[in-house]
Structure 1
């Protein structure tokens, strides 16, 4: 069996590297083969390095976005306050729905780049 075919199988205590697809330990934070940091997975949702989840942010934007709750969750306190101040106009609710769609369509790498900073 060649090396490429051998890498396609993994044990229960292994996972594939997100960059080079090498078999690595499931607890590994950095791939020993390529050195790329692995994204954290909690409860089945991919989270950024600071623990923020794209799915949770999108759900907050959909249900409570008119109040700016998703902005507070993502660490944008100033924008959250602006949303709260203008929530009576329903304009923040419309913008939050657009942000909900953007969050759903955003890749995990883009979410980590934009909101994953610690």
Structure 2
């Protein structure tokens, strides 16, 4: 808790009272309410603002064009996906990427794609 009234990258708002608490806190120290993500593990947001759910949806629906790669900061791979999109191989790879993102832990997602 930074004391400035603004939420830091490792903080979130309590779902009940709105107090700024640590992002990994399970219980709000101010009101005592247990915190839960509305999307479960899919609601993970990396410190740079990248959403795991958005990445999964991009990979599922626009994976053939590599949009999820551009979103996650992997522009080189995104360009390769665009160059070969006519072969439908990137669409298959995008589906596989979506599954891999779905089973990836929040910590691994933050470690791999959370760099600011």
Global fold match (TM > 0.5) = yes
Q: TM-score range by the shorter chain?
A: 0.5 to 0.7
- What is the Cα deviation at residue 96 of structure 1? 0.6
Distance across 2 between alignment mates of 1:22 and 1:93? 41
RMSD, matched Cα: 2.7
TM-score, normalised by the number of residues in structure 1: 0.67
Alpha carbons of structure 1 residues 21 and 64: separation in structure 2 relative to 1, 3 Å: closer
Q: Which residue of 2 aligns with 1:90?
A: 88
Q: Which runs of 4+ in 1 moved over 3 A?
A: 13-26
Task: State how 1:49-68 maps to structure 2 within 5 Å.
Answer: 49-68=47-66
- What is the Cα deviation at residue 23 of structure 1? 3.9
Q: Which segments of 5 or more consecutive residues in structure 2 lack a partner in the other structure?
A: 1-15, 32-41
The alignment covers a number of residue pairs equal to 92
Larger Rg, first or second structure (1 or 2): 1
Q: Which residue of 2 aligns with 1:104?
A: 102
Q: Which residue of 2 aligns with 1:46?
A: 44
